Structure 1
Amino acid sequence: MKSFIFDVLESLKDKGEDLSTLYFILPSKRAGVFLRQELSAVVKKTIFSPTIISIEEFVEELAELTTINNTELLFEFYNTYLALTPKQEQESFEVFSKWAQILLQDFNEIDRYLIPQNQIFDYLAAVKELDHWSVGNDKTEVIKNYLKFWNKLKLYYKHYTQNLIAKKTGYQGLIYREAVENIQNYCTLTKRKHIFLGFNALNTAEETIIQELLKNNLAEIFWDIDETFIENKIHDAGLFTRAHKTKWKHFEKHPFNWVTKHYKNDKNIEVLGVPKNIGQAKAIGSILKKLETKNPNLKSTAVVLGDENLLIPILNSVPESISKLNITMGFPLSSIPLASLFEQLFSVHKKASEKYYYKDIIGLLSHQFINPLFLNGTINTASIVIDTIKKNNLVYLTVSEIRQYAKNNASLIELIFNPWKDDANKAIENCFKIINKVKEYLSTNKEDNLISLEYLFRFNKLFNELFRLNNTYKHIQDISALFSIYTELLSSETLDFKGEPLQGLQVMGMLESRVLDFETVIISSVNEGVLPSGKTNNSFIPFDIKIENKLPTYKEKDAVYTYHFYRLLQRAKNIFILYNTEVDVLTGGEKSRFINQLELENIHKINHKIITPKVPGFNNKLKEIVKTKTVINQLKEVAQRGFSPSSLTNYIRNPLDFYYQSLLGIKNIEEVEETVAANTMGTVVHDTLEALYKPYINMELKIEDIKDMMPKIESNIEMFFKKTYAEGDMSKGKNLIIFEIAKRYVQNFLNLEIEDLKAGNTIKILALEQKTEVPLNIPELNFNVKLKGTVDRVDLYNGITRIIDYKTGKVNNNQVSITNWEDINLDYKKYSKSFQILAYAYMMNALKPLDFPVEAGIISFKNLNSGFIKFTQKGGKKNSLITQENLNSYFNELKKLIIEICNPEINFVEKEV
C-alpha cells in the first residue's frame, strides 16, 4: 500500500524538486517520523535530510514567541487580574482559576481566528447588558458586578497579551496572531520552499499564513481528501476542504493537490458491538491474535483509540507474542500508584485538623511506597500502628499518639503526619522529603525498582515545577489551591513509552493518526459522545455570537472528527470498528452516527456483529471439606474442650462456617468499630445487668432493690463500654445514641421487674452469667464429648425455675417454639433460639438436677412488651413447661447432631443459600 506521504514525496521528486532543501510542515510531530521513513524509500541516494517540523513549531518561529504551558498561563493571567481588580473585589487564586481557564480558551479561539478583539468584547458586553434581568437604573450589586465582569474582558485581554509578548511567550492563539503580523516580512526574507501536507481544518491564522506563502510562490499544499467526500456537498469529512477549494484565490489559477479515489476500493469492514470498555479491549486482543497468524509483524496495523482511557486495558489485552509495539500516547502520570500516595496526603492535610481519621492513617501507612519505609529487620512498625488502631478501636488520633505507637520511626511519622498548617511551601517541601525517603529505600535494590524510580523522578519534576511557579508568582497561598494546581499539572503529564516507532503494531489516539495510513485499522469506542464528542460548549461566548463572528462551534468539531475517522478508512483494506453496546451514564449504548452513515452510504459491505463475552461455565457444586484424619483429630479436641450451643447452631446454619470457625479458628478480620456494633452493645448490656444483680444472688428481690440499681445504670454502662469498646469515642454521633439506647434497655428491663414485683410476683436470683460445662454420654463415639456455655440468668419466679437468655435484638414468640423435635437440627432460622435455650436447660439440669417443671426462654430488649418469652412445645395444646421428658427428647436430637459432626463418613458440605 502506497501512503499519502509516499505519494507526495514521489510527486515532488518527479517534478525535479531537491527534497533536501524543502521545508516540510505537518499537522503533528508524529507524522515527521513516518515522512523520514518514506523519504528513504523514495530517494535512492544519500542526501541531507530536509527540515521537517509541525505547524506549531513553524508558527512559533514566525512569531518569535515561545509557547508556555496552561498552568503558567493561568499564573500570568492572575497577575493581570490582580493588577486590574480592586483589592476588596479580588478572588483567591483557587476561585479565580475555575473561571479563568475557560476565559483563556476563549482568548485562544479569538486569536486563532483573528477576530478583532475590541469588536467581539464590546459585542459580548452589549449582549450581556441586554440580557440582564434588571430593567431599572437601580441595579443591585450582583448585577453591577456581573456587568462589570463583561466590560472588563477587553482590559484583561489587552493587559495580559502585552505582558506575555513583553516576555517573548504566549499561548497558541496569541502566537498565531503574531505570526500573521510577521508573515509578510518573513516572505520578503526567505527563499525556501514550504510543503504543507495532510491539513484539513485550518483556523483563520493558518489559512492566512499558508495563502500568503502560496501567493509569494514559497509554498505548495497537498490535501488528502477523497473524491467521495469532497464531491458530496453534505458530507462532513469534506466540509473544510470544500471551503478551501472554493474560497482560496490560489486555486483559481493553480491545481488542487489532491483529490484521490481510494475510498471506494474494496474493503473488509467489520462493525462489532461489544459490551463495556473492557469487552472492547478483550475483543481487540482477539482480533490482533487472528491478524498475527496472517501477518506476524503486524506491519501497517494500527489500533486507534476513540477513548484514550482504554489504553491500559488494551495493553493488557495485547497478545504476548506481539514483540514489536509502538504507543504514540504517553501513560498518564495520574494512573500510576505514586499518584494515589500524594492524593491521599493532600486529602489528609487539606482538612487541617489536629486529629487524623483512622482510615486516612491506615491508607497512608499501608501504601506500597510508604509501608516498606517502616521495616526494621523483620518488624514493620507501620503494621504495629495499624494493629494498635484496630485493637484499641481508635477512630481519631493525634500525631503524638501515632508517633507513640510507631516508636522507632517517630521522625518518619512526623514527616508524613505533621500538619502542613495550610502552608503551600511547607507542603511542597514535605513532598520533596517523602520522595527522597522513598528514593533512598528503592535505591538499595536499584535493578528491581527501575520503574518505581522513574515514577519518583517524574513526580520530583512535577513538584519542582510547582515550586518554581509558586516561587516566581507567589499566588498559591493554601493547600486547597496547591492541590488544584497539582491536579492540573498531573492531568497533563505522561510517561512516554519506548517502542518500535516504525515497525509492528501502532497504538494511538485519533489525533495522532493524522497524515498516517495503515492497511489494517482497529478503531475503538465509536459511540455517540466519544466519536464525535457531542455538544460541548466550555466557553463564555454564546453559540449565536460564535456564529456571528465565524468562530468554531461543536458542529465544526464534529466535522474535524468525521474527517479523521473517514481518512483512516480511505486507504485501509481491513477495518474493525468497535462500539460499546451497554447503556452508560455518559458514553455508552448508542453507536456513533459514523457507523450509521457507513451503512447508509451503501458503498461497502458492512459485516455487523454483536459480540458477547464468553461466559465460563460455573461449577455450581457445593464446597466440600473432606474429613481427613487431621480433621477428625481436631474434632476430637473440640469435642473434649466442649461444643457450645452457638457453634452447634453454626453447623446447622452451614457446616462450612462450623469448620472455619471451630476447627480452623478463623475469626472475622479485626476492624476498627467506628460505630458501636450490635454484639458490642449486647455485651455491655449483659455485663451491666450482671453487675447490678450480682449483690442479690440467692436473695428474693424487693422493689427497693431494683430502685437502688437505677442510679448505677449510667456508670456501669460507661464502664463496660470503655472495657468492650476500648478507646472508641462514645461522646457524640451515633455512638452517643447507642449509649443512650443501652441505658434505656437496662432501665426498661428494671421497670419491667418492678411491675412484676408490684403485681405480687416473687423473683429470686439463683445464678448470673454462669459458665457451665457438662459431659455428654454418647456411647457411639469412642472419645469424650462435652457441652459448654454461659447461662445469662437463672431465677425462681413464683417458685418456678426460669432459665433466661438475654437478647438485645428482636425475638418473637414463634422463634422459641417447636412442634416436631426432629426439626430442631434442620432449620437454623426457625429453631436456633429454641436449640440454645434448651441447651442451657439441659446443662443446668445435668449440673444439678432441677426441680421440675422448669421454664426456659428469652428476654428480648427490643420486644420487652412480650416480657419473658417462654419456650413452648406445640402439639395437641401448647406447653411452656420443660420436663425431663423434653430434655430427653432434646438430648436425642443433640446426640444425632454431634454424631453427624464427628462422623468421618459425612464431610462438611456447604449449605445452599
Structure 2
Amino acid sequence: MTTFILDVLKDLQNKNKDLSSILFILPSKRAGIFLKHQIAQIVNQTILSPKIISIEEFVEDLSQLKKTSNTELLFIFYKTYLELTKKEEQETFDSFSKWAQIVLQDFNEIDRYLIPQEKIFNYLSAIQDLKHWSLEEPKSDFIKKYLSFWNKLNLYYTKFTEDLLENKTGYQGLIYREAVENIESYIQSNPNTEHIFLGFNALNAAEEVIIQELLQNELADIYWDIDSKFFDNAFHDAGLFTRQHHKNWKYFANNPFNWKTNNYTQEKNIEVFGIPKNIGQAKYIGTLLQSLQQKNEKLENTAVVLADENLLTPTLNALPPAVDALNITMGFPLQSIPLASLFEQIFQFHKKENNTFYYKDVIAIISHQFIRPLLNNNHVDIASKITNTILTNNLVYLTLEQLKELAIASTEIIDLLFAIKENNVENLLKNCSQLILTIKEDLDQNKSLNKLSLEYLFRFNELFNELNNYNTKYRFIKDIHTLHGIYKELLSAATLDFQGEPLQGLQIMGMLESRVLDFKTVIIASVNEGILPSGKTNNSFIPFDVKIENQLPTYKEKDAVYTYHFYRLLQRAENVYILYNTEADVLTGGEKSRFITQLELEGIHTIKHQIVTPKVEACFSELIEIEKTPAILNRLKQIAEKGFSPSSITNYIRNPIDFYYQKVLGIAEQEDVEESVAFNTLGTVVHNTLEDLYTDFKNSFLTVDALEKQKPKINERITHHFKNEYKEGDISKGKNLIIFEIAKRYVSNFINLEIEDLKKGNEIKIISLEADNRASVAIPELDFEVNLTGKVDRVDQYNGITRIIDYKTGKVSNTDVEITEWEAITTDYKKYSKSFQVLLYAYMMNQQNKVNLPLEAGIVSFKNLSAGLLKFAVKEGRSKNQLITQETLDNFEIELKKIILEICNPEINFIEKEV
C-alpha cells in the first residue's frame, strides 16, 4: 500500500530536491519517526538526515520563548493577580485556580488566533455590563466586584504576558503570537532554507500567517492530505479546513494545491461492531487481532486507535499471546497505577484535619501493597496485628499514639503516613517524598522483580519534587485542600511513557497520534457520540457569538477536526474495523457516533454492521453438597458428645451447609468493626443487664419495692455491659447513643411490666437465671453418646406454674411460637425455629428433673413487650394448648431424634438449601 509520506517523498525526488537540506515540519513528533524511516527506504545512496521537527518546535524556535507548564502558568498568573487586586478583594489560590484555568485557556485561544486583546476584553466587559447589571442602581458590592473582574481582564493579560516575556517563557498562544512577530527576521536570517509542511489540516491564525509568509517568499511548500470526496463536497466536515485554506490563501491563486487524492473511494472492507461496555470492546480487539494473525496479516501495518484512553489497560490485557512486538504511542495515565491510590488516600484523610483516623482509612493505608512490606518487623506482620486489634477492640477511630503503640518498631512509617505537624503543607510534602524513598529502599532489595514498581516511584518522586518546587518558589499553597488540587492537576497530565521500537509490530495510539500516518488495517474503538466527536463543550468565558465574530474555534470546528482525523484514517486503509459501546453510560449514552451513520448514508462503501455480544454460558447455580467422610463423621461424634445447642440444630434446619462450616469446620463469621451497635450486641447487653438486676431474687418471690430499688441501677449496668461488649466503640453520640437509650428503655419497661403484674396480685418466683443445662438423649441407632446443651435466660413460677422464658430483642408475635403439625418443627426454620428452641429448653430441663410438668415456655419480645410472655402452644382447630405436658415433650422428642439422626447419618450429605 502507498502512504501519504511516501507520496510526498517521491514527489520531492521527482523535483530533484536535496532531501538533506530540507526542513520538514509535521503536526507531531511521532510522524517524524515514520518520515525518517521512509526516507531511508527511497534513497539509494548515503545522505545526511534532514532536520525533522513538529510545528510546535518550529514555532518555539521562531518565538525564542520556552514553553512552561500549565501549573506553573497558574502560579505566575496568581502572582500577577495579587499585584493588581486590592488586598481585601483577593481570593485564595484554591478559589482563584477554579476560574483562572479557564481564563488562561481563553488567553491562549486569543493569542493563537491573533485577536486584538484590548478589543475583545473590552467587548466582553461591555457585554457583562449590559447583560446583567446596567439597570440596577445603586449597584451592590457583589455586582461591583463582578464587573471589576471583567474590566480588569485586559490589565491581567497585559501584566501577565509582560512577566512571561521578561523571563523568556510563555504559554502556547503567546509563543505563537511572538513567532508571528519574528517571522520576517527569521526569513531574512534563513533565505536558503527550504521548508516542507506536510499533513496539516486545521491551522490557527498564527500558523496560517507563518506558513503563508514562507510560501510567499518561496521558502516553503505545503502538502495537504485530503481526498477529493471530502474536498469537493461543500458540506463534508472532513474537508472544511482545507477548503477554507484553498479559498482564502492568496498563494493558491497562482500555485498548485497539493494534494487532492482519490484513495477514499477505492474498495475497502469496512465492518462496524456494536459491543457492550469497554471491556467487551477490548476483548473484541484481541479477537480481531487473532483473526488477522490467522490470515497471516502483518501487524506492522495494523493500528489500534483508541478514541478513549481508558481502553488502553483492558486492551493490553486482551492482546493475543502471539503479538510479540508492540508499540504504544499513548502514555499510560499515572493516575491509573496502584501508587496513585495510596497518595489519594493519604491526601483524603489529612484533608479532614482531625486528631483521629477512621479505621477503614487506616486499614486501607496499612494494607496497601506498597506499605504492608514496610510494616514487617522481625517477620511479624504489623499490618495484620493492627487490623486484628482494631476489629477485636471495635476501634472506629484511632489516634496517632494508638497507632504507634500498635506498630512496635515501625513507628517511623506510621509518622510518615499519619503525622502532620504545624506547617501541614510542607510536612506532608516532606513525608510523601520520604515515603517514596523508604519504599524504594525496600524495593531495591529485589530490583529484578520490582522494575515496574521502581518506575512508578520515580515518576511520583518527580511529581512531588515539582510540587515542592512550586510551594518553595511561590508560597501560595496555604492548606492541604489547595495542595491536593494542584497534585491532582499535575497527576491528571502525567503519564508513564512506554519504551519500544516505534516502527515494529502492532501500533496502539490515540486519535491525534494517528496524524500523517497510514495503515493497511485500522481498528478504531469507542466510536461513540460524546467521545468521537466529543460534542458540545464550552470551557470558556467567551460567549459563542463572540467566538464566531472573532473567528475563534467553537465546538463545531473541534468536531470538524475529529471528522478529518477519522476519515483520514480510512483514506488509504484496506480493512477498517469500527467498534462502539452499545450500553448506556453516564457520559456517552451508548449512542453510536454520527460518523458511523454518515458512513452508512454516503453509500460509497458497503458497511457490514453487526451487534456482538459475549457468549454467556447458561449459569446454573449448583447447590453445595458435602459428603460425610470418616473424618467428618468423627467430628460429628465429637460435637454430639460435647452437646448440640438449640442454635446449632436450628442452624442446621435453616441451612445444613452453614452448620457444616460453623460447627464441623469451626469457621466463625468474619469479624468486623461495629460502627453502630449490632443487634446481637444489643441483645447481649440487655440479657446481661437483666441477669445482674435479678440475681438477688433467685429462689425468692419478686416484690414491687424490690424491683423499684433496682431501677436506679439500670443506667450503670447498661453502661458497664456496653463497654464490655462494644469494647472501645463510642456510645456517647449519634446512632449508638440512640441504641444505648433503647437498651435502657427495654430493661426499664420490662421491670415496669413485672411491677404491674405484681400489683394485680400475681406471684412471681425466680427459680434460675442464665442457667446452663446439659442433658443426654438416647438414640439407639447411634453408637455414641448424644448430649444437648443450652443456657436458659430465665425460669420462674407464675402463680405456681413453672415458666421457661427466652428473651428476644427482636420482634416476635404469637404465631411464631405456635405449631399445628409436629413434622414441620424441624423443616420450616422461619416459622418454627423459636418453637423448637423453647421446647428444647423444656426438654433438657425436664430430663435433668429441674422442672415439673406441666409447665409453660415462651418468649419475651422487647419489641412486643405489651403482649407479655408469648407462650408456646399447640393449635388444634380453634383451640390452643399452652401447657407443655409429657405428651408434648414425647412428640417433640420424636422430631428431635429425627433431626439428630439426619445430622449424624453417613448416608445423608450436607446439602445446601436454596435461599
Same fold (TM over 0.5): yes
Larger CA deviation: 437-446 vs 6-15: 437-446
Structure 1 residue 33 corresponds to structure 2 residue 33? yes
Q: Which amino acid aligns with 1:67?
A: K
Cα pair distance change 1:730/1:422, threshold 3 Å? farther
Checking the alignment, whether the CA contact within 8 Å between 1:326 and 1:500 is kept in structure 2 is: yes
3-state SS of 2:556 partner:
helix
Q: Which amino acid aligns with 1:530?
A: I
Matching of residues 354-503 of structure 1 within 5 Å: 354-421=355-422, 423-503=424-504
How far apart are 1:445 and its partner, in Å?
1.5
3-state SS of 2:601 partner:
helix
Checking the alignment, whether the CA contact within 8 Å between 1:349 and 1:420 is kept in structure 2 is: no
How far apart are 1:559 and its partner, in Å?
0.3
Distance 1:621 1:447 in 2: 44
3-state SS of 2:716 partner:
helix
Larger CA deviation: 423-432 vs 694-703: 423-432
How far apart are 1:879 and its partner, in Å?
1.0
Q: Which amino acid aligns with 1:334?
A: Q
How far apart are 1:616 and its partner, in Å?
2.5
Checking the alignment, whether the CA contact within 8 Å between 1:821 and 1:889 is kept in structure 2 is: yes
Distance 1:462 1:443 in 2: 20
Checking the alignment, whether the CA contact within 8 Å between 1:25 and 1:52 is kept in structure 2 is: yes
Distance 1:804 1:435 in 2: 62
Distance 1:902 1:183 in 2: 96
Superimposed CA distance per residue, residues 829-861 of structure 1 (whole angstroms, 9 cap, x where no aligned partner): 111111111111111111115322211111000
Superimposed CA distance per residue, residues 486-544 of structure 1 (whole angstroms, 9 cap, x where no aligned partner): 11111111111122311211000000000010111111111110011010000011111
Structure 1 residue 149 corresponds to structure 2 residue 144? no
Aligned to 2:889: 887
Q: Which amino acid aligns with 1:893?
A: E
Larger CA deviation: 465-474 vs 217-226: 465-474
Uncovered stretches (5+) of structure 1, i.e. residues with no partner: none
Larger CA deviation: 137-146 vs 843-852: 843-852
Distance 1:251 1:773 in 2: 106
Aligned to 1:353: 354
How far apart are 1:62 and its partner, in Å?
0.3
Q: Which amino acid aligns with 2:30?
A: R
3-state SS of 1:859 partner:
strand
Checking the alignment, whether the CA contact within 8 Å between 1:6 and 1:38 is kept in structure 2 is: yes
Distance 1:431 1:136 in 2: 52
Aligned to 1:2: 2
Superimposed CA distance per residue, residues 692-745 of structure 1 (whole angstroms, 9 cap, x where no aligned partner): 000001111011111111100000000000100111111111111110000011
Checking the alignment, whether the CA contact within 8 Å between 1:422 and 1:479 is kept in structure 2 is: no
How far apart are 1:593 and its partner, in Å?
0.5
Distance 1:330 1:585 in 2: 25
Q: Provide TM-score, normalisation by structure 2.
A: 0.99
Checking the alignment, whether the CA contact within 8 Å between 2:416 and 2:432 is kept in structure 1 is: no
How far apart are 1:412 and its partner, in Å?
2.3
Distance 1:215 1:433 in 2: 58
Superimposed CA distance per residue, residues 103-150 of structure 1 (whole angstroms, 9 cap, x where no aligned partner): 000000000000000110000000000011451330001110110000
3-state SS of 1:801 partner:
strand
3-state SS of 1:223 partner:
strand
Distance 2:133 2:182 in 1: 45
Distance 2:234 2:610 in 1: 31
Matching of residues 540-559 of structure 1 within 5 Å: 540-559=541-560
Distance 2:781 2:758 in 1: 48
Checking the alignment, whether the CA contact within 8 Å between 2:547 and 2:554 is kept in structure 1 is: yes
Superimposed CA distance per residue, residues 546-568 of structure 1 (whole angstroms, 9 cap, x where no aligned partner): 11111100000000000000000
Aligned to 1:266: 267
3-state SS of 2:881 partner:
coil
Checking the alignment, whether the CA contact within 8 Å between 1:331 and 1:494 is kept in structure 2 is: yes
Q: Which amino acid aligns with 1:272?
A: F
Distance 1:199 1:515 in 2: 8
Aligned to 1:597: 598
Distance 2:665 2:295 in 1: 55
Structure 1 residue 118 corresponds to structure 2 residue 118? yes
Aligned to 1:663: 664
3-state SS of 2:272 partner:
strand
Uncovered stretches (5+) of structure 2, i.e. residues with no partner: none
3-state SS of 1:303 partner:
strand
Runs (4+) of structure 1 exceeding 6 A deviation are none
Q: Provide TM-score, normalisation by structure 1.
A: 0.99
Q: Which amino acid aligns with 1:478?
A: D
Q: Which amino acid aligns with 1:768?
A: L
How far apart are 1:411 and its partner, in Å?
2.5
Aligned to 2:46: 46
3-state SS of 1:323 partner:
coil
How far apart are 1:416 and its partner, in Å?
1.8
Aligned to 1:222: 223
Aligned to 1:336: 337
Distance 1:534 1:665 in 2: 59
3-state SS of 1:814 partner:
helix
Distance 2:780 2:298 in 1: 76
Superimposed CA distance per residue, residues 863-898 of structure 1 (whole angstroms, 9 cap, x where no aligned partner): 112111011111132111111111111111011001
How far apart are 1:295 and its partner, in Å?
3.0
Superimposed CA distance per residue, residues 315-371 of structure 1 (whole angstroms, 9 cap, x where no aligned partner): 110111100111001111111111111111111211111111111111111111111
How far apart are 1:457 and its partner, in Å?
1.0
Checking the alignment, whether the CA contact within 8 Å between 2:66 and 2:170 is kept in structure 1 is: yes
Distance 1:883 1:229 in 2: 97
Aligned to 1:530: 531
3-state SS of 2:753 partner:
helix
Distance 1:478 1:737 in 2: 37
Distance 1:209 1:606 in 2: 41
Matching of residues 204-353 of structure 1 within 5 Å: 204-295=205-296, 297-353=298-354
Matching of residues 624-635 of structure 1 within 5 Å: 624-635=625-636
Checking the alignment, whether the CA contact within 8 Å between 1:352 and 1:422 is kept in structure 2 is: no
Distance 1:734 1:421 in 2: 34
How far apart are 1:420 and its partner, in Å?
4.2
Superimposed CA distance per residue, residues 398-436 of structure 1 (whole angstroms, 9 cap, x where no aligned partner): 111111122222222222211244621111111111111
Aligned to 1:861: 862
Distance 1:588 1:638 in 2: 58
Distance 1:862 1:910 in 2: 32
Distance 1:415 1:30 in 2: 42
Checking the alignment, whether the CA contact within 8 Å between 2:228 and 2:261 is kept in structure 1 is: yes
Distance 1:904 1:10 in 2: 86
3-state SS of 1:516 partner:
coil
Checking the alignment, whether the CA contact within 8 Å between 1:424 and 1:479 is kept in structure 2 is: yes
RMSD: 1.0
Match of 1:901 among 879, 886, 903: 903
How far apart are 1:297 and its partner, in Å?
4.1
Aligned to 2:705: 704
Cα pair distance change 1:37/1:911, threshold 3 Å? same
Q: Which amino acid aligns with 1:177?
A: R
Matching of residues 683-762 of structure 1 within 5 Å: 683-762=684-763
Aligned to 1:17: 17
Checking the alignment, whether the CA contact within 8 Å between 2:304 and 2:507 is kept in structure 1 is: yes
Distance 1:421 1:755 in 2: 62
Distance 1:895 1:166 in 2: 96
Checking the alignment, whether the CA contact within 8 Å between 1:354 and 1:398 is kept in structure 2 is: yes
Q: Which amino acid aligns with 1:578?
A: L
Aligned to 1:101: 101
3-state SS of 2:482 partner:
helix
How far apart are 1:184 and its partner, in Å?
1.3
Distance 2:287 2:679 in 1: 51
How far apart are 1:758 and its partner, in Å?
1.2
Checking the alignment, whether the CA contact within 8 Å between 2:803 and 2:857 is kept in structure 1 is: yes
Q: Which amino acid aligns with 2:89?
A: E
Distance 2:136 2:487 in 1: 45
Matching of residues 73-112 of structure 1 within 5 Å: 73-112=73-112
Checking the alignment, whether the CA contact within 8 Å between 1:810 and 1:862 is kept in structure 2 is: yes
